[in-house]
Amino acid sequence: MKKKSTGFVLLALLLLIAPAFAQTAPPAGTWAQIPNTQLYPVIPFEAKSESSRGAGNPELWSPRSLFAFSGGDVAQIDGGWGFLIWGGGHAATPDNSLYWLPFDGSGAKRLMGPYLAPDKVYYYNDPLETYRAVSRNAPPSVTAAGAPKSRHTYSSLLRIEVQGRPAVFCFGGSLLVGSGSGTTATRIFDLSQTYAQAMARPDMGWALKAVAPGSAVASSSGWDPVQKRVVTRSRNFIGAYYPDADKWENWNIHNAPYGSDFQAGVAVDVVGRKMYVLGDRLAEVIDLDSKAYTDLRGQPWAKATGNAIAWHPRTKQIVSWWGGQNLLLIDPATNAMRTVTMKGVTVSSMEESGTYGRFRIIPGTDQVVLLNAVDQNVFIGTLP
């Protein structure tokens, strides 16, 4: 009965979201580009070389570093599909802007940010989680500091729902400090906010929520729409965050490898109730109902995947991208795998620090989407 209920919930979700995707899909087995989907035009002027007039690096240098060890998520806002992007951090850019990049060609926009330090100083350890002063571009009503520092978001930036409202979830990250540090912070951004409403808050719209069971630099998370929770695989715990109740739950899985910030990706099989975590020294599957853990590192395909992975519900396969034209298709039920060389436009090599959630399958379709660099359009491919 539970499986039938789960399948019904997923079918209802797909019926709601699938018709809203208006981008013309390329033929099966083909890559294309979506026009006017570069992120660079909307990145703050203070991050670009022309702002320094040749006198050293710009204040928020470098715009490319927005993607350093940072992912994103595909989402639907106001009926249209696109990418949500939040990154920077550690030795990358101080730019803490949250970006929305729609696939309809209307152009990217900032949902909040950037933080602009009054003294133009960003790298310090105290405070750790937030910038220490009110931003230069904050309205006069903001009198207290609280803007979150930029961070590597790895695979823990997700579009979720809170009390039925669309939101962005972020946990952990490598912060804009010398060591990167890591953090126990959970932050939620309400997507119903306007830019002005977000910037009128000391936290720039990023509400600080319940403290996680442990700190993380790199972590990997997936959204379970059936149970309305985020399932997270961190360096020292596996558990779930329930946004409606604002609480974390440690699943106390003891047979998993811990102690390292694994740079991995996530593929969630909602109907089959499985979450696959694959990437750097890690290959595993977590049962979303029983919480059973299975180590997959011995499987023949485990080392062939990177952190850019997604689940394709129609074929029940994991789709992995390592850069270039090829896609790796994996059937975890049979351990069969095959490499598909896609035709069409030339796809660039993977950004050196990883892709994470900037590689996704648009729900209800056979299309993969990829955002690989700030000065490139989004790539879209149709699975064979």
Please, are residues 140 and 251 in contact by the beta-carbon 8 Å criterion?
A: no
At position 234, the amino acid (one-letter code) is S
Buried b (16+ CB within 10 A) or exposed e, 9-44: ebeeeeeebeeebebeebeeeebbbbebbbbeeebb
Omega before 114 cis (within 30°)? yes
Q: How far apart are CA 38 and CA 375, in angstroms?
A: 5
Superfamily of domain 2-382: TolB, C-terminal domain (2.120.10.30)
H or E segment at 174?
Answer: strand 174-175
What is the model's pLDDT at position 24? 79
Could you tell me the two tokens for 260? 């390292």
What is the model's pLDDT at position 23? 52
Task: Assign 3-class secondary structure to 84-95.
Answer: EEECCCCCCCCC
pLDDT in tens, the chain (384 residues): 444 444 444 444 444 444 334 457 999 999 999 999 999 999 999 999 999 887 889 999 999 999 999 999 999 999 999 999 999 999 999 999 999 999 999 999 999 999 999 999 999 999 999 999 999 999 999 999 999 999 999 999 999 999 999 999 999 999 999 899 999 999 999 999 999 999 999 999 999 999 999 999 999 999 999 999 999 999 999 999 999 999 999 999 999 999 999 999 999 999 999 999 999 899 999 999 999 999 999 999 998 899 999 999 999 999 999 999 999 999 999 999 999 999 999 999 998 899 999 999 999 999 999 999 999 999 999 999
Could you tell me the two tokens for 303? 């080392």
Q: What share of the chain is helix, strand, coil (3-state, %, to 5)?
A: 10, 35, 55
Query: For the chain, which residues make up each domain, given as ranges?
Result: 2-382
Which whole-number Å values give the CA distances from 59 to 78, 110, 299, in the listed order?
33, 18, 47
If phi > 0 it is left, if psi is from -120 to 50 it is alpha, else beta; for residue 140 that is alpha
Helix (H, G, I), strand (E, B) or coil at 45: helix
Please, are residues 101 and 83 in contact by the beta-carbon 8 Å criterion?
A: yes
What is the model's pLDDT at position 4? 46
Which whole-number Å values give the CA distances from 15 to 20, 21, 363, in the listed order?
10, 12, 10
Which whole-number Å values give the CA distances from 27 to 248, 361, 377, 383, in the listed order?
43, 16, 18, 9
What is the model's pLDDT at position 55? 83
Dihedral sign (CA 208, 213, 216, 220): negative
What is the model's pLDDT at position 310? 99
